[in-house]
Structure 1
Amino acid sequence: MTKFNVPAMKCGHCTAAIQKSVTEADPTALLEFDIPGRMVEIDSADDAATLLAAIKEAGFEATAA
């Protein structure tokens, strides 16, 4: 599992965009969101850089937690 801080993630629309982008990169990825904590935890075969790029592709800045 890789954790990311996503400061601008505030709602279900945000999580849906991130989910869509990450699962396009890795269809088997599992995501867990903590909206109040602005965190996403991703279980994926992809490396952190690829996942971070997918989050950015969804329109969100993120950093590894």
Structure 2
Amino acid sequence: MTTNEYRVTGMTCAHCEMSVREEVSEIAGVEDISVSAESGSLVVTASSELDDATVLAAVEEAGYSAVRV
């Protein structure tokens, strides 16, 4: 298991969180996702090492930007 944390900008509500969660959940190996618009955080747990570029692209697809913490 590996866990990565990202800082996401632009999220303001539960719908924002849901959009990010839906996109990131499509990444192979992702087992758990925690998203908070209030703190601007995204924590992704996966069964194997995650490629940051893949996670960042998924967040971008949802309409937001992120950086690894």
Q: Which residue of 2 aligns with 1:4?
A: 6
Runs of 4+ in 1 over 6 A off after TM superposition: none
Number of residue equivalences: 65
Instruction: Using the aligned pairs only, state the percent identity.
Output: 26
- The 1-side partners of 2:51 and 2:18 are apart by 21
Unaligned runs of 5+ in 1: none
CA offsets per residue over residues 3-24 of structure 1, 9 Å max, x none?
1111211211011001110112
The correspondence of residues 1-65 of structure 1 with structure 2, limited to 5 A, is: 1-26=3-28, 28-44=30-46, 45=48, 46-65=50-69
Q: Which has the higher strand share?
A: 2
CA contact (8 A) 1:32 1:40 kept: yes
Query: Comparing 10-19 with 38-47, which one deviates more in the overlay?
Result: 38-47
Which structure's CA Rg is the greater one? 2
TM-score (norm 2): 0.79
Q: Residue 57 of structure 1 aligns to which amino acid in structure 2?
A: E
Query: Comparing 20-29 with 45-54, which one deviates more in the overlay?
Result: 20-29
Deviation at 1:37, TM superposition (A): 1.4
Unaligned runs of 5+ in 2: none
- The 1-side partners of 2:20 and 2:62 are apart by 6
Q: Which has the higher helix share?
A: 1
